[in-house]
Each structure stands twice: as C-alpha cells, then as structure tokens.
Amino acid sequence: MDIPAYVSWFRGAAPYINAHRGKTFVIYFGGEAVADERFPTLLHDFALLESLGIRLVLVHGIRPQIDARLAERQQSARYHAGLRITDAAALACVKEAAGTVRVEIEALLSMGLPNSPMAGARLRVASGNFVTARPLGVRDGIDYQHTGEVRRIDATGIRAALDRGDIVLLSAVGYSPTGEIFNLRSEEVATAAAIALQADKLLLLGEEDCTAGTGGKLIRQLTTDEANRLLAAEQGLNTGVRPDIEAATRACTQGVARAHYLNWRVDGALLMELFTRDGVGTLISQAPFETMRPARVGDVPGILDLIVPLERQGVLVTRSRERLESGIGDYLVIERDGTVIGCAALHAHPEAGMGELACLVLHPDYRRGERGTRLLAHIETLATRSGLRRLFVLTTQTAHWFRERGFEPAGVGDLPPSRQGAYNRQRNSKVLIKTLG
C-alpha cells in the first residue's frame, strides 16, 4: 500500500465527508447492475455512505429481470417509443421481478459477517407503497395497459423512514388509489422522488460514460442549459445515457441541488465521485460547477493556501493576510466546488495608464488546460475597461509563459514611477509589458 497517497486521499476526502453528513441522496441503478456479479460490491459502497451519515433512497430497475421471465414463458417483450407495453402477462412478470429483486437487495444489505465490508453495519431497509401511480393510457393509438407514470411520491413517509435511520428502497412499481398496480420507468421514480424530497443529490448509475459524438471524451460537467442543447442536437449525447441525462436535467430544474451520472461498471465510481474534487462521472447543475468571479474576503484563506507554498519557494513575494484583505477588490478567483483553485490580481496605476498583473497562481492539480490563459484574458478585459493601455508583470521564473502570450521584455525604467520605487532589486524580477488592444 502507498501509505502517503492513502493518507493524502483520506485527508482530502474529509471535507466531503463533513459536507455530505445528514444530506439526502437518491441513487438510481438499473436491473443490469443488480444482475451483475459485482453488484454486492456496489451495495457495500451504499452501506459505507449510510455509515457516514448520508440519508439514502435507493431506486432499482428491473427491465432485464422482466424480460427474462417473459422469455421463460415464451412470450415477447413489447415496447413502443422506448416504453414497455405491460399487458396482464407482463404485469405478472413485473410483480415477480420487483419482489425478487427487492428481497435480494434487502438480503445483501442485511449482511454482517466478520471480515466483510458489511461487518457490524446493521442496516434497516424500508420499502412499501411510497409511489402513487396512474395509467399512461393510450398514446399514438397504443394502449400501454398496465404501464403507468408517477402521480405522487409520499415524501412525508419517506422522510419519516429516513429520520428513523432507515435506507428507503423504491421499486419501479406504483399503486393507484383504486388498488391497481402499474409498471413504471425506474428513472422516473428516482427523479420524482428526488424532486419531492428536494434531495441534495440525485445519482444515476448507468452502463457507460457520458460522452458526446462518436468516440467522444467523458463530459465532466454540464449546466442544465448545456445538457438541453446536447439532448436536442442530432450529434449530441450517446444514446445510452440520454434517459439518465434527461432525468438529471429535469431534477435540477425542479429544485435538486446537483445530479451526477456515473458509469457503475467503474469500480468505486460512487466513492470517487462523492469524495474527490473532480470525480469520475458527469455533474449536472443549474449553475456552473467551476466559476471565475471577483474575490471576496472569505476567499482569503483559499488564496493563501495557493500562494504560501510559492512564497516559501521564493517564486512569489510574501503577502500578509492583512494586505490581501485590504486589497481583495483587485483579485479574481476560480472556484471549483467551493474550493479556490486559482487567482490573479490587477493593481491599477491609472496615472501611467498601466496595470500590474500579479499573483497569477493555480492549484498544482489544475495547471494543465487553459485556466491560466483564461485568468489572464479576464484581467486584460478588466484593465481595458478601466482605461488602462498597458499591462505589466514582474516574474522570476515564468517569463516564457508570458512571452508566449504577447508580453515583451522591458526594463525597470518602463514601470510606473510609483512601482519603480517599490521594485526589489535583490529579487531581480524580469519586467514584461503588453500593450492592450
């Protein structure tokens, strides 16, 4: 075991452990996950979340289990527009599959053998008629029969179970006030439950990564507007993830703080998504996950975390907390999931028509990519709006980076008079100046 890496990860996870405690998460997983031999490991991860104080509502699918039972009876599964047509024979298979899967999940969550991940867990599972449904009816001339849609979620009953410390387990089955049983889309049940509970997170565990186009890379984050544009595009999201991304987007537009789409086939994906800053899935939210904004006094500790290591190395001039707080209006920050991962400052010298770019720093984990360039571009925009004609920077080790972005070598005599007097000749920083267009 790499002990330093393990300790570092554990310490890094601590803020997320504290942030998630007492929060309500709705987690959806399909019947394919239930049928997989790795499913017990996924259940162990659910148990770990519960042990960390997270209130869990689990929603499971049963599509392959229903199809298997129909095949055993030599009957075909019938679909239209992606929805099952549930006749009487299919409904019998729905009831059988839902009952069997529910019992299997409850059994796995009841394990407590020594030397196993569930040792001492003692979990309680609550399931029941929390979902009221109504018939889908006839659409496009097709009678969906016993296929239904969610009418209401018993949020009060679910919260009462969560308050008792239970894990709530919901199936893709709903009941009408007249006692009828309806087969539901499990993604819809999960979404409706998350909205009704105003859950802190909706987590959708799918079969593949969320990508766009053929051979596309994993999409790390989407706003709801971005997700809707991709869903509407002909060459948008890969087909397999569309129902889950639609569900996630709907949830976020109706009060759920964040939704996450994950590929459950990645071992530990749930834990990595929840307890690391970047995760391994796709985050959907109404507001951007990472934003650039003017700094506030509350950002000073985060800025200090970035700059102090570089001050100790002599890369940056030492700035006191008091100096940062008094000049915080000059700073921009990049915030990612509540953590400051980048900053830069613009100190104006209007008498000379110049501005100083200072303290451009990125967290070591985020120095790849274009964040530094974006910070610089934003500083240039602010300088131009302020009527400044030129931007200068003093640097001891990054002159080439600035040269590549249009800065030219200059001398101390080219600095504003007020800055010439404060120039530290012992540091012997290089002076670079850029004329703003």
pLDDT in tens, the chain (437 residues): 688 888 887 888 888 899 899 999 999 999 999 999 999 999 999 999 999 999 999 999 999 999 999 999 999 889 998 889 999 999 999 999 999 999 999 998 887 655 556 666 678 999 989 999 999 999 989 999 999 999 999 999 999 999 999 999 999 999 999 899 999 999 999 999 999 999 999 999 999 999 886 567 899 889 999 999 999 887 778 888 999 999 999 999 999 989 999 999 999 999 999 998 788 999 999 877 788 999 999 999 999 999 999 989 888 888 899 999 999 999 999 998 788 999 999 999 999 999 999 999 999 988 877 889 989 999 999 999 999 999 999 999 999 999 999 999 999 999 999 899 889 988 999 999 999 97
263 phi, psi to nearest 5 deg: -90, 105
Position 20 scores a pLDDT of 94
Position 392 scores a pLDDT of 97
CA distances from 298 to 291, 295, 319, 333, 382 (A): 16, 8, 16, 11, 22
Residue with tokens 């080790």: 397
Burial of 315 (0-12, 13-18, 19+ CB in 10 A): middle
Whose CA is closest to 131, among 77, 195, 78, 87? 195
Domain with CATH 3.40.1160.10 in the chain: 3-288
Write the class of the CATH domain 291-435: alpha beta
Residue with tokens 């012992």: 426
Domain with CATH 3.40.630.30 in the chain: 291-435
As a CATH number, domain 3-288 is 3.40.1160.10
Helices and strands, number each (H, E), in the chain: 15, 23
Is-contact 285 249, C-beta < 8 A?
no
pTM: 0.76
Position 119 scores a pLDDT of 64
- In a 13 Å sphere around the CA of 429, the CA atoms on its Cβ side amount to 20
Position 315 scores a pLDDT of 86
